[in-house]
Amino acid sequence: MKAVVYEGPRQVAVKEVPEPRIETPGDAVVRITTTNICGSDLHMYEGRTNVEEGKILGHENMGVVVETGPGVTRIAIGDRVSVPFNIACGACRSCETGWTSFCLRANPTDGVDGAAYGYANMGPYDGGQAEYLRVPWADFNLLELPPGDEHENDFTMLSDIFPTGWHGTELAGMTPGDRVAVFGAGPVGLMAAHSAVLRGAAEVYVVDKERDRLAMAEKIGANPIDLAEADPVEQILAATGGVGADCGVEAVGYQAHDSAGAEHPELVLDNLVKVVRSTGGIGVVGVYLPQDPGAASEGAKQGRIAFDYGSLFMKGQQMGTGQAPVKRYNRQLRDLIIEGRARPSFLVSHEMSLAEAAEGYERFDRRDDGWTKVLLRP
Ligand SMILES: NC(=O)c1ccc[n+]([C@@H]2O[C@H](COP(=O)([O-])OP(=O)(O)OC[C@H]3O[C@@H](n4cnc5c(N)ncnc54)[C@H](O)[C@@H]3O)[C@@H](O)[C@H]2O)c1
Ligand SMILES: [Zn+2]
Ligand SMILES: [Zn+2]
């Protein structure tokens, strides 16, 4: 079958690889109908992780079940499913308590809890930017979708970014009536803003410097804050009479940069500590890594990012972090889509064939104007 393979920094290729097969009784094989390129893939694409060459990429997957192992009883051949990016066993202490993103059994990598498809350090699992994907513990992991192809572009956001954006607001302790500051208007930030609106935010501010992305934020009812125009903290403070936000979401990650494009991994954390009121919450879903060989400082190379922890403490703020446990939210978010209350497909900008993946990566990576979210159709 054909699959998107990582071949080194800024190089991906569509290659012929062996088809996945049932390896353990609980496995299923899914024929992929839609698979998205994620901002998380770009950390690998840019050579800013230790992912190995030859890895099949892709963790935002959905499709139709074509094969099941003898231990699969709930999911059946022909089911249309969303595949959470977390691979979870369903039976360990983390999974039992709903933290499938920190499954204790799925990832054999030393010192890492939690596994995912096609991702650096997240276990030996192939990704789904391919024609077929093997799904371990299929009964536990797969989410059923209504048959057919309705809402395909909405449902495809259920594998990662819609639950991740929602999780950002949850980690931030958001409640109805809050003023919410979201940093990053990439797909994850836009999903966090969409979630905040759905959850009854009084006001949502979305910070970025990409005008096309800010325009999308405005369309879904948020206030765009262009960091290229003036300090985003000052802008939000001015707009809120000096009070700031009740809570905030970090949807940028360790490659955060200033308006001139220079990287400062602590920049967005510092901004959030400043702009969120005392005792407010900050949900960090943008990725930070314990090793970043491409970082500018010695500390940051080892994940030591010097942000203003002193002010965080003095303000009594809460901070929540980490990969989102997709299963905690995906069923309810699916139903919001079915009932027409949520429309996460608003951010889709490009639908391409798998063969065009290299171009999709390149243009999404450059944040070319209008390239907000790329879907691949194997
Ligand atoms: N925690 C999780 O489970 C999870 C899941 C998916 C993605 N992620 C992570 O979320 C982050 C965002 O993902 P994405 O797909 O939206 O990526 P993206 O790279 O497309 O979006 C990031 C956006 O942040 C903007 N940005 C850069 N510096 C900024 C700054 N100083 N202030 C405000 N905005 C700034 C960029 O212009 C860009 O639009 C990535 O780090 C990704 O790895 C985490
Ligand atoms: Zn993703
Ligand atoms: Zn587990």
State whether residue 159 is helix, strand or coil. Answer: helix
Q: Contact at 8 Å (CB) between 117 and 59?
A: yes
pTM for this structure? 0.97
Q: What angle do CA 165, 170, 171 make, to 5 degrees?
A: 95
pLDDT digits (tens, 9 = 90+) for 95-127: 999 999 999 999 999 999 999 999 999 999 999
Q: Which atom of ligand 1 is nearest to the CA of 209?
A: 37
Is the pLDDT at 43 greater than 90? The verdict is yes
Domains, the chain, in order of start with CATH, read: 2-160+325-377 (3.90.180.10), 164-321 (3.40.50.720)
Pocket test for ligand 1, best of 188, 209, 226, 367 (most atoms within 8 A of CB): 188
Give 8 Cα–ligand 2 centroid separation in angstroms: 19
Please give the average per-residue pLDDT across 45-73, as a whole number: 97
Residue 5 forms beta bridges with which residues?
13, 56
User: Average pLDDT in the 297-323 region?
Assistant: 96
pLDDT at 291: 87
pLDDT tens for residues 129-142? 999 999 999 999 99
Q: Are 250 and 268 a contacting pair, CB within 8 Å?
A: yes
| Sign, Cα dihedral of 263, 266, 269, 270 | negative
Closest residue by CA, ligand 1 atom 43: 40
The string of pLDDT tens digits covering residues 172-213 is: 999 999 999 999 999 999 999 999 999 999 999 999 999 999
Q: Please report the DSSP string for 249-307 in residue order.
A: EE-S-TT-B-TTS-B-TTHHHHHHHHHEEEEEEEEE-S---S--TT-SSHHHHTT----
**What's the angle, vertex CA 268, arms to CA 171 and CA 252, rounded to 5?**
70
Mean pLDDT across 71-75: 98
Find, among 55, 64, 174, 186, the residue nearest to 120 by Cα.
55
Atom of ligand 1 nearest to the CA of 372: 20
Q: 């192992």: which residue's tokens?
A: 69
Cross-strand partners of 80: 64, 145
Q: Which two tokens stand for residue 209?
A: 């410097």
What does the pLDDT look like over 276-298, one tens digit per residue? 999 999 999 999 999 888 888 89
- Contact at 8 Å (CB) between 369 and 31? no
pLDDT computed for residue 373 by the predictor: 96
DSSP H helical ranges for the chain? 39-45, 93-96, 138-141, 152-155, 161-171, 187-198, 211-219, 232-239, 267-275, 298-301, 309-314, 330-338, 357-365
What CA–CA distances, in Å, run from 295 to 43, 48, 59, 363?
Answer: 12, 8, 25, 23
Q: Helices 161-171 & 187-198, crossing angle to 10 degrees?
A: 60
Above pLDDT 70, what percent of the chain? 100
Distance 287 CA to ligand 1 centre (A): 8
Average pLDDT over residues 330-346: 98
Which pLDDT belongs to residue 225?
98
Axis-axis angle for helices 232-239, 267-275 (nearest 10): 20
State both tokens at 29: 């094989």
- pLDDT grade, residue 91 (50/70/90)? very high
pLDDT the model gives residue 294? 85
Other C-beta atoms lying within 10 Å of the C-beta of residue 237: 16
Computed over every residue of the chain, the mean pLDDT equals 97
Question: Candidates 44, 195, 208: which one to mutate for ligand 1, based on the most atoms within 8 Å of Cβ?
Answer: 208
Question: Averaged over 333-354, what is the pLDDT?
Answer: 97
pLDDT of 23 > 90? The answer is yes
Residue 223: CB within 6 Å of ligand 1?
no
90: left (phi over 0), alpha (psi -120 to 50) or beta: left
**Does residue 349 have a pLDDT over 90?**
yes
